[in-house]
């Protein structure tokens, strides 16, 4: 996705209002209660837990000047707790999407979100 783009150039031409609307739709379809600011926490936590990036790379990605700021956002326990609250079917779907994300973003495969609303709510959110 980065090929042919300047270092900090956006990957997507998506304005803030459209991004917020898509986020809200995705959360509704997945029966997930989440706030957009959680993306910041989740990204840092995920990168650190999976050891995908060094602290220096995380700092550069988030434009943080101090390691203390990165550590404040890196709360692995919070990510784990949020994942545990997801219903098994939703969690499985999210894992599949994470695995397939490179192919999805390249346009090689599409995404069909299951109709989780067909299940009793007790099976969706714990």
For position 122, what pLDDT does the model report? 45
Mean pLDDT of the chain: 78
Per the CB < 8 A criterion, the answer to whether 111 and 79 are in contact is no
Per the CB < 8 A criterion, the answer to whether 79 and 49 are in contact is yes
Query: 16-65: per-residue pLDDT in tens?
Result: 899 889 888 888 887 777 777 777 767 777 787 778 888 888 888 777 78
Per the CB < 8 A criterion, the answer to whether 62 and 70 are in contact is yes
Q: How far apart are CA 120 and CA 51, in angstroms?
A: 37
Neighbours of 48 (CB within 10 A): 20
Plot region of 33 (φ>0 → left; ψ -120 to 50 → alpha; else → beta) = beta
């Amino acid at each position: 996705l980065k090929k042919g783009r300047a270092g900090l150039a956006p990957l997507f031409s998506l304005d803030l209002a459209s991004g917020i609307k898509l986020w809200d739709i995705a959360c509704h379809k997945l029966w997930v209660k989440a706030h957009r600011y959680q993306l910041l926490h989740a990204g840092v936590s995920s990168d650190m837990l999976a050891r995908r990036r060094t602290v220096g790379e995380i700092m550069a990605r988030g434009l943080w000047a101090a390691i203390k700021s990165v550590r404040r956002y890196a709360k692995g326990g919070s990510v784990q707790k949020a994942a545990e609250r997801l219903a098994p079917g939703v969690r499985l779907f999210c894992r599949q999407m994470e695995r397939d994300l490179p192919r999805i973003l390249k346009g090689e495969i599409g995404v069909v979100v299951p109709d989780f609303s067909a299940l009793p709510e007790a099976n969706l959110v714990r």
